[in-house]
């Protein structure tokens, strides 16, 4: 186990990380999130909580690097941090893109008591303009909501918009998720499932996907 608090406070550690990765804008902060997540993962339990608590404070107070702090919390979190993130998310408008980061944490680590907030966002009427930014975040923790949300997007968004896109391609390495979606759509909207399956079949003809992934997907469809 590593010790990351030695000779540095959480604030010092986080500030240095932000400075170190300041030029990583092209990667969307992925390198910083990966480094921070790994450091926390490899730390002793008591230190994990210290740093997770600090990142939670950064996120709630919307301090510098708040979006990146939330991205780390998606990977490394505690029940206490989830509760705090949930309370903050309740204060944000659903049409505010800033809410996505908080809901992603809840989607990955939340409990049944937090589910209604995700449902309010993903099952809203009309479809939330940020809907597609969150739907994968609730899988696999909330598979039923995932199926409902994804099906809703496919049903209420024109076929021309999602055909051949990442909306379809994102399933090519996730056969279990595809199985969940298929089961729901076959019961609720067989026509949309047939369209979606046709797109999946088109992807299977491409060389960009691994053979083992293709084999797994074929078993599902």
Per-residue tens of pLDDT for the chain, all 221 residues: 556 655 578 999 999 999 998 877 666 689 999 999 999 999 888 899 999 999 999 999 999 999 999 999 999 999 999 999 999 999 999 999 999 999 999 999 999 999 999 999 999 999 999 999 999 999 999 999 999 999 999 999 999 999 999 999 999 999 999 999 999 999 999 999 999 999 999 999 999 999 999 999 999 99
Check residue 27 and give its pLDDT: 64
State the alpha helices, DSSP H only, in the chain. Answer: 10-20, 30-41, 45-60, 66-75, 79-89, 99-109, 115-122, 143-156, 159-162, 166-169, 175-188, 190-204, 211-220
- pLDDT score at 179: 98
How many CB atoms lie under 10 A from the CB of residue 16?
Answer: 11
pLDDT at 46: 87
- The contacts of residue 9 (CB under 8 Å, 6+ apart) are none
Closest CA to 74 of 133, 20, 33: 33
pLDDT, position 143:
98
With b for 16 or more beta-carbon neighbours within 10 A and e for fewer, the 82-116 pattern comes to bbbbbebbeeeeeeeeebbbbbbbbbbbbeeebbe
Q: How far, CA to CA in Å, does 126 sit from each of 2, 94, 154, 157, 176?
A: 48, 12, 14, 11, 28
């Amino acid at each position: 186990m590593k010790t990351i608090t030695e000779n540095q406070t959480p604030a010092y550690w986080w500030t240095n990380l932000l400075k170190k990765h300041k030029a990583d804008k092209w990667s969307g902060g992925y390198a910083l999130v990966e480094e921070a997540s790994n450091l926390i993962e490899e730390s002793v339990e008591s230190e994990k909580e210290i740093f997770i608590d600090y990142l939670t404070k950064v996120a709630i107070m919307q301090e510098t690097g708040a979006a990146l702090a939330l991205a780390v919390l998606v990977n490394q979190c505690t029940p206490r941090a989830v509760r705090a993130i949930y309370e903050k998310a309740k204060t944000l408008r659903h049409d505010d893109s800033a809410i996505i980061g908080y809901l992603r944490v809840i989607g990955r680590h939340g409990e049944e008591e937090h589910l209604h907030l995700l449902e309010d966002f993903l099952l809203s009427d009309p479809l939330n303009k940020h809907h597609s930014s969150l739907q994968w975040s609730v899988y696999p923790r909330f598979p039923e909501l995932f199926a409902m949300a994804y099906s809703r997007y496919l049903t209420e968004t024109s076929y021309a918009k999602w055909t051949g896109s990442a909306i379809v391609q994102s399933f090519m390495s996730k056969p279990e998720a595809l199985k969940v979606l298929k089961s729901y759509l076959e019961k609720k909207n067989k026509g949309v499932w047939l369209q979606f399956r046709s797109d999946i079949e088109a992807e299977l003809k491409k060389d960009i996907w691994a053979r083992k992934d293709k084999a797994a997907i074929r078993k599902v469809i």
